[in-house]
Amino acid sequence: MKYKNLGANIRENVKRYQHKNAVYYKSKSEWKGISWKDFGAQIENFSLALLNFGVDAQQNVAIYAQNMPEWIVADLAIMSIRAVTVPLYATNSAKEVEYIVNDAEISVLFVGEQEQYDEAVKLLKDNKFLNLIVAFREDIQLNGSDNSIYLKDFILSEPIERANIELQKRYDESKLSDLACIIYTSGTTGEPKGVMLDHANFVDTIKAHEIELEFSDKESSLSFLPLSHVFEHNWVLLCLHNGIEVYFNESPKLIANALKEVKPNYMCAVPRFYEKIYGAIQEAINTSSVVKNELLKWAVSVGEKYNNEFKRYNKEPSAILKTKYKIADKLVLGKLKDIFGGEIKMMPCGGAPVDASIVAYFHAIGINVKVGYGLTETMATVTLFSDTDIEFASVGKTLAGSEIKIGDNNEILVRGPGVMKGYYKKQKQTEETFIGEWLRTGDAGRIDEQGNLYITDRIKDLMKTSGGKYIAPQKLETVLINDAFIDQIAIIGDQKKYVSALMVPNFDALKEYAKKNKISFESVEDLISNSHIIEMFKERFDELQKSFSGFEKIKKFTLLPKEFSIAAGELTATLKLKRKIITKKYKELIDKMYGE
């Protein structure tokens, strides 16, 4: 379909689908749908309200909320009037919100819940840009602020005739070169940078995915990752473009129930999601009977042979293997697939490195985890797994229309229609990120003869020991995090004489281990200071690090009683470690490991 503006395609789908549901939300215990007709009307009413308020073409408007239908309605309304969406993570602190509001000169800010409103309202007193906060939900307490309003009142403002005329004018004047969105990077190494993406970036990325993937408007997708992340944002727009029904999961903590209730065909997830489920399965194995363990091992081994040795390469399995797989699927594998709702067709995965063994495991049980690679600066996807001949250790092959090549220091360079227009108000950083038309990713990699891309290092994260050896921390962390007893781990080693680590155990698994081994404890602090527990982790580290060189291996480690969190500023909104903050916060413990 040819169109000039993301909103124009939505208007076409409103005509096409009318009474078919576009999106769903959960009200108490029931999932409720919004028809395409009503969805389109909400977007138009929202657009008129924005014009009524005086939002100009290419003006920045921010959304600060969890996933919900109002989020995507606001987004499409903003872009439909040629304004620019600026997404904020629902977990952003007041300081982070203030930075973006000032940098993007935000005058109108939409908020989703009380938590976001309370953070945003702190800015109203002194901020020279912010004029209005619009609350999506009526259960938000507005605290008597004159500059706050509920969405229903914002939209009910009677649109003047000029607004209707202006809306049609914006529709007519919209073009692919219009800026559509500014997404601020999470800032693991410094202050956030606003990635500028235009309508052409979105449109061409949608078209490229349609070449690579097959969709049906009879399918559904569960929106789990934050819409403020480029990965989920793009995926939801791709789904809406293809008439796929989108269910919005507002609370990440309720995802297990949502999967069983919705039974989606698609859901985007980051590696941590799969690591958690894999860890839970391994933990269940540790507490199950010998008979159940042997049955699970047999079923997975059958799945590995059937899916990973035959179906993966488009080969026909033998009749005996087909029969074995049918039995394994009925007894075990089907139950594992039911964790994801039982109707999954494909699960896009990206955002961080994922261990090949984890990917292979899920493919073996019949979950099609489609790994991809990309950045906010490339509209997320640059490469992705094809349907057959998958190399689990890779991140797939180049997406249609994009190009990759390997530059100096093995850096991955990208060129194509998904590449950003630059960093907002940061000309110097923009120039430093490009070599001609090629975007520097900051990741090192290699390409095999079949065109598969392999990520080898994160150049910006490389550590150099005091002995001059380079360490790739993510490589080691990705291997260690798969262990059933390890929940989080942060590698330390930059300018140090050897590698060390701060590690958060999986406390459920650890408590079960302690009970089995008759180790008494009253708190997690007791557990992590127990000599038997420490020795157990030493042995596990030795086993897990066998494939690493001596200088790469962890020599000392400290167990932490509390996990790294977004709230504490130790993780980005996409659950990546903020290494500088962690190193500073735990300096005393780190120094102790080095005898300093």
Q: Where are the domains of the chain?
A: 6-174+213-250, 271-459, 462-593
HEC secondary structure over 505-574? ECHHHHHHHHHHCCCCCCCHHHHHHCHHHHHHHHHHHHHHCCCCCHHHCEEEEEECCCCCCCCCCCECCC
CA distances from 127 to 149, 154, 192, 194 (A): 18, 21, 19, 20
Distance (Å, whole) CA 464 – CA 551: 11
d(CA 508, CA 562): 13
Residue 596 has pLDDT above 70, yes or no: no
Contacts of 574 (CB under 8 A, 6+ apart): 186, 225, 226, 229, 270, 351, 352
Q: How far is it, in rounded angstroms, from Cα 39 to Cα 220?
A: 16
Using the predicted structure, report yes or no on whether residue 4 has a pLDDT greater than 70.
Answer: no
pLDDT digit string (tens) for 459-486? 777 787 877 777 888 888 888 888 889 9
Q: Which CATH code fits 271-459?
A: 3.40.50.12780
Helix H, strand E, coil C: the string for 253-282 is HHHHHHHHHHCCCECCECHHHHHHHHHHHH
Cα(354)–Cα(358) distance, rounded to whole angstroms? 7
Mean pLDDT along residues 210-220: 95
pLDDT digit string, tens, across residues 54-97 = 999 999 999 999 999 999 999 999 999 999 999 999 988 888 89
Nearest partner of 225 among 67, 348, 354, 347, judged by Cα? 67
Average predicted confidence (pLDDT) for the chain: 92
Mean pLDDT, residues 308-334: 96
CA distances (Å), origin 16, targets 10, 35, 171, 206, 246 = 10, 12, 19, 19, 17
**DSSP letter at 55?**
P
- Phi, psi angle pair for 489, to nearest 5°: -150, 140
Distance CA 64, CA 86 (A): 9
Tens digits of residue pLDDT in 334-361: 999 999 999 999 999 998 888 899 999 9
HEC profile of 440-493: EEEEEEEECCCCCEEEEEEHHHCEECCCCCEECHHHHHHHHCCCCCEEEEEEEC
Distance (Å, whole) CA 157 – CA 153? 6
**Pick from 379, 434, 439: which is nearest to 413 by CA?**
439
Percentage of the chain modeled with pLDDT above 90: 76
577 secondary structure, DSSP code: B
Long-range contact list for 447-451, CB < 8 A, 24+ apart? 447/404, 447/406, 448/391, 448/394, 450/389, 450/391, 450/397, 451/397, 451/398
C-alpha 434: how far from its chain's center?
25
- pLDDT (0 to 100) of residue 353: 83
Cα→Cα distances 224→248, 338, 358, Å: 7, 17, 20
Reported as a single tens digit per residue, the pLDDT across 367-423 is 999 999 999 999 999 999 999 999 999 999 999 999 999 999 899 999 999 999 999
SS (H, E, C) 337-383: HHHHCCCCCEEEECCCCCCHHHHHHHHHHCCCEEEEECCHHHCCCCE
Distance CA(144)–CA(386), nearest Å, equals 54
Give percent helix, percent strand, percent coil of the chain, each to the nearest 5: 45, 20, 35
Q: Counting Cβ atoms within 10 Å, is residue 304 exposed (0-12), middle (13-18) or buried (19+)? A: middle
Strand spans (E) along 17-66: 21-27, 30-35, 60-64
Neighbour-count burial of 92, counting CB atoms closer than 10 A to its CB (0-12 exposed, 13-18 middle, 19+ buried): buried
Q: Do domains 6-174+213-250 and 462-593 have the same CATH topology?
A: no
Task: Return the closest-CA partner of residue 79 out of 9, 16, 14, 131.
Answer: 9
Distance from C-alpha of 573 to C-alpha of 225, rounded to nearest angstrom = 10
76 vs 308: CA distance, rounded Å: 41
In CATH terms, is domain 6-174+213-250 a member of 1.10.357.140?
no
Q: How do residues 100-155 score in pLDDT, each as one tens digit?
A: 999 999 999 999 999 999 999 999 888 999 999 999 999 999 987 789 999 999 99
pLDDT score of 190 more than 70: no
Give yes or no for residue 174 having a pLDDT over 80: yes
- 511 Cβ neighbours under 8 A, 6+ residues apart: 521, 527
- Predicted confidence at residue 169, as pLDDT, reads 95
pLDDT greater than 80 at residue 189: no
- Mean pLDDT score, 15-30: 94
What is the model's pLDDT at position 275? 86
With 0.85 as the threshold, say if the pTM is over it.
Answer: yes
Contact call for residues 473 and 491 (beta carbons, < 8 A):
yes
Q: Which two tokens stand for residue 182?
A: 């500014």
Is 479 within 8 Å of 544 (Cβ atoms)? yes
Domain 462-593: give its CATH superfamily: ANL, C-terminal domain (3.30.300.30)
- What is the rounded distance in angstroms from the CA atom of residue 63 to the CA atom of residue 53? 16
Give the C-alpha separation, 304 to 307, whole Å. 6
